Structure 1
Amino acid sequence: MLEVHDLTVRFGGITALDGVGFDVGRGEMVGLIGPNGAGKTTLFNCLTRRYDADSGTVTYEGRDLTAVPPHAIAELGIARTFQNLGLFPRLSVRDNVLVGAHHRGRAGFLSAGLRLPGVRREERALHADADAVLDRLGLTGVSGHLATGLPFGTLKRVELARALIGRPRLLLLDEPVNGLSASEVDEFAGTLGAIRSEYDLTVIVVEHHMGFVMGICERIVCLDFGRKIAEGPPGEVQRDPGVIEAYLGTAVSERSERTIEHSSSELMRPTQEGV
């Protein structure tokens, strides 16, 4: 579904991505990990066309994504959530979710202004879809509330609902469990596993909570200072000396295999705070 090849992004003298490449197959759930500043969110911003790459290619379902304008990304079947909640605090939960369906509307300025029958039918259909997604994520009870003031875990689900109503095929989740309690992390993991199958999703997850990402993803890609340093199944990546060094900042080349295994298990152990 997705092919990233030799992707490079520079901001002045800073290289945020340095020749990154990997593939994602249809239906996969891939984890994208790395220390702060590794380039994970920059990569998401390139995939959604918020940033232009200096070099490299991104191919989505056989199409050159770098040639697609930002406003057309959602219509291609790509949706995302954000590190920092990108919700409208003075809109209701329901209206925040409906924002995610903007590309599905076909009514023009004149027909919408005249409230023609086709416009009303379209609105009813979108509202029905919003209600279905809200119900699936347990948000029906707060659908009329303003987004501001709601619990953080609830707002994370609102963001997920907004992404799902766009009917994506590729879902990009940027730190979806950051700031959640241990019970909320477990609940989100269960929900994500279920909706992945129900909505036929391919998912890429950026996350620092190692217990979460290692538990739900079939494959892990690890970045450090903008470069890919490891890729493979979770168990293989968590034992990779380069990954351990990137997180722990130690010269693992001088460590024994037993010490590496111990450090890796400590690194990947689920905690409320994550890593």
Structure 2
Amino acid sequence: MPGTPFAEVIGDPIAHSKSPIIHRFWLQALGIEADYVATRVTADGLAAHFRLRRDDPDWRGSNVTLPHKQAVFDVVDDRAGLKTTLGALNCVFGDADGGLVGTNTDAGGFLEPLDDVPLEGKAVAVVGAGGAARAVLLALASRDVGSVTLLNRTPDKGRALLNQFGLQGDAVPLDTALPPVDLLVNASSLGMVGQPPLALDLTPLPAGAIVYDIVYAPLETPLLAAARARGLTTIDGLTMLIGQAALAFEIFFEAHAPRDRDAELRALLTAA
């Protein structure tokens, strides 16, 4: 007999995830009788987990986090060909035929706060060349940005990513001085709790530049603090986290997240 509809986030470890807070807040706000839980799934148990979920009539979908974002390609249908572009999935849901479909909401979540920003032809700098950077670069390519400077410890990896996404520009070592770009994105873990800080001199940035840090622990990273001290526009990591979650929420529960209550949600997340 059917029980309560639910979605989940899976990973190992998973107790730190803020996704249940976000989705439960929206479910309650909309009066939807459903739940969203965190489920620890080991690497060895990934395939078996999704076999069970596929046959569960109450399951609406799963967000996927480390260490499963690549391994999940082996157990779902990659209809959008994300394995050769992003190389990662963060969302799995069932289709009407009983199959499992994988997608990724990170690029859309990244772009959401930039919807009204004219990025076409603009110069951009991106720090990092990992999974998050791939989502950022895919998103930037969709907006036809101009030259992209990618800062990374291994510039060759960065150049390969620029070529893959058809972006003009170059990859340079992490300690290279910033060019005068219109948008600076930290898509690395630098500045995160337990990681080294991201030490960049923001002096070359013009007054109208935007500094976007996808790190959300801490919310006020040294990079954002330095940008605010210069009077630059800033976007913090909770913005992308909430944006990508809203896209998943719509997939799972077929309802739009109540984004008019973002301020209340952000206060809840920062207090957790």
Structures share fold, TM-score greater than 0.5: no
Which protein, 1 or 2, shows the higher relative CO under an 8 Å CA cutoff with sep ≥ 6?
A: 1
> TM-score, with normalisation over the residues of structure 1?
0.30
Task: Give the number of the structure whose residues are more often helix, by fraction.
Answer: 1
> TM-score, with normalisation over the residues of structure 2?
0.30
